[in-house]
Structure 1
């Protein structure tokens, strides 16, 4: 059984975490599979948006500690190949949008992966947790960076330092979730709907918007402002820009090709 499933729907790809017997805990094979799926998505010119979700009763309870410990004890190195993207984006970002859908238990590494998304959906039954400190660990996948950045220092530290869990409404109040749906199926449907809206937009404009926003956060607002004119000028010279103008004038939906 594939630990990561991939399903194409037109310009959208659905990426499923598929270890339900272990509540979708990530072992090395599942981690490599997700990294490979991200790489394939980001490098496929036909794909414009991705939705990540979990099979079974949870998005993910995080890392499979025993499996990673067995790898460490074997003496083998854990490293990604050149055709894999780091799912935590410690050294960069995908150039295309990522929509994440959380349901059931979404703990630790599962929550940290959720935080990498550009848009996030949660089902009503979700239970978030960042409780590594209760196990003498800490959120080493970016939770100490993204969580306080998006939720605010004290809100994030309330959960990181105590190990307390929280639900969908609290996550939405903190700005971590944009949509809350009744159940897993409706949450996935919402994620696909959002991804399809993204896919209908100009892919070069989407890519440039992500690049500019990431530059402002990862480097500085000054660096992002310094590049705006250059980025605008480049988009004005594309076929997609001309198609957008023509479609507006003709009163029809645009057909973007990514050039």
Structure 2
């Protein structure tokens, strides 16, 4: 690793931070003025996602940005002089970092506090839920640079809002405000800016005492099932359903239901 690479990595650690609030990991992009992401920042996001996946005491994740943007895209200055060969070698690691977020075996919510454009929008698409500030602007403007989305936008967006709506946003590169994003299903909830983090933390915090393995299997069944046919999806569901009968949480949950009624079990995550 070169000295330049070392410096980029050090900067990425400064620009992508994580703190744990109770049982929720809050991953924050903080590179003024608009949190444009460098490639080292992509790597850092992937590293943190894999770290969170291994940490049993973390039950959920909030993704957000500091200041007036969630992330206003990737660092175009860094990409400007890259050759086909250089980008071909880099694009798969970039995708892998965001996929590490999408495949986190825990609930993930994006708190979209401002601009979520290009790579920033693609990162938000990796979350299970998106809560937007009323001042948020989202979009995939890559075509206006003569390129296309390359970190999951052409794949995750159509799966979320349908191919026709996705093509409109990707072909035109236009931005949508929070209200339109809510209407087309790009975000799930819109709140005032001062309420955003409180709402995101509240959503994530409800999983503090949840049955972790049940959540893990449910997420796997939904996400994997959407990418396959119904029969295969049902097989994935059946495998997860049966597997959960080997967990302590299943025994605790059913015992509590029979003795105390629904919703009163204290799970252990095993």
Task: Judge same fold: TM > 0.5, yes or no.
Answer: yes
Which 10-residue stretch deviates more, 25-34 or 203-212?
25-34
Does residue 98 of structure 1 match 2:108? yes
1:90, distance to aligned residue in structure 2 (A): 8.4
1:85, distance to aligned residue in structure 2 (A): 9.0
Secondary structure at 1:16's aligned position in 2?
Answer: strand
Secondary structure at 1:20's aligned position in 2?
Answer: coil
- For residue 174 of structure 1, the aligned residue among 171, 184, 189 is 184
Q: Distance in 2 between matches of 1:130 and 1:79?
A: 17
| Structure 1 residues 176 and 4, CA gap change in structure 2 (3 angstroms) | same
Unaligned stretches of 5+ residues in structure 2: 1-10
1:69, distance to aligned residue in structure 2 (A): 4.6
Does residue 58 of structure 1 match 2:63? no
- For residue 249 of structure 2, the aligned residue among 225, 237, 240 is 240
Cα deviations across residues 208-246 of structure 1 (Å, max 9, x unaligned)? Answer: 001111221223321121233332222122111122223
Q: Who is 1:125 aligned against? A: 135
- For residue 220 of structure 1, the aligned residue among 229, 238, 246 is 229
Secondary structure at 1:86's aligned position in 2?
Answer: helix
| Structure 1 residues 45 and 10, CA gap change in structure 2 (3 angstroms) | same
Q: Which has the higher helix share?
A: 2
Q: Distance in 2 between matches of 1:127 and 1:20?
A: 17
The answer to whether the 8 Å contact 2:131/2:189 transfers is yes
The answer to whether the 8 Å contact 1:12/1:49 transfers is yes
Secondary structure at 2:171's aligned position in 1?
Answer: helix
| Structure 1 residues 72 and 52, CA gap change in structure 2 (3 angstroms) | farther
Q: Who is 1:7 aligned against? A: 19
The answer to whether the 8 Å contact 2:47/2:97 transfers is no
| Structure 1 residues 91 and 172, CA gap change in structure 2 (3 angstroms) | closer
Cα deviations across residues 142-200 of structure 1 (Å, max 9, x unaligned)? Answer: 111121222122222222111221111111111121111011x3111111111111333
Q: Distance in 2 between matches of 1:9 and 1:220?
A: 39
1:117, distance to aligned residue in structure 2 (A): 0.8
Q: Distance in 1 between matches of 2:122 and 2:92?
A: 18
Q: Distance in 1 between matches of 2:98 and 2:73?
A: 13
Unaligned stretches of 5+ residues in structure 1: none
The answer to whether the 8 Å contact 2:45/2:97 transfers is yes
| Structure 1 residues 156 and 78, CA gap change in structure 2 (3 angstroms) | closer
Q: Who is 1:195 aligned against? A: 204
**Superposition CA RMSD, Å:** 2.6
| Structure 1 residues 16 and 236, CA gap change in structure 2 (3 angstroms) | same
| Structure 1 residues 38 and 168, CA gap change in structure 2 (3 angstroms) | same
| Structure 1 residues 150 and 134, CA gap change in structure 2 (3 angstroms) | same
Secondary structure at 1:141's aligned position in 2?
Answer: coil
| Structure 1 residues 97 and 72, CA gap change in structure 2 (3 angstroms) | farther
The number of residue pairs the alignment matches comes to 254
1:28, distance to aligned residue in structure 2 (A): 2.3
- For residue 124 of structure 2, the aligned residue among 114, 132, 148 is 114
Does residue 49 of structure 1 match 2:60? yes
| Structure 1 residues 92 and 18, CA gap change in structure 2 (3 angstroms) | closer
Q: Who is 1:32 aligned against? A: 43
Q: Distance in 1 between matches of 2:95 and 2:208?
A: 21
Q: Distance in 1 between matches of 2:226 and 2:15?
A: 33
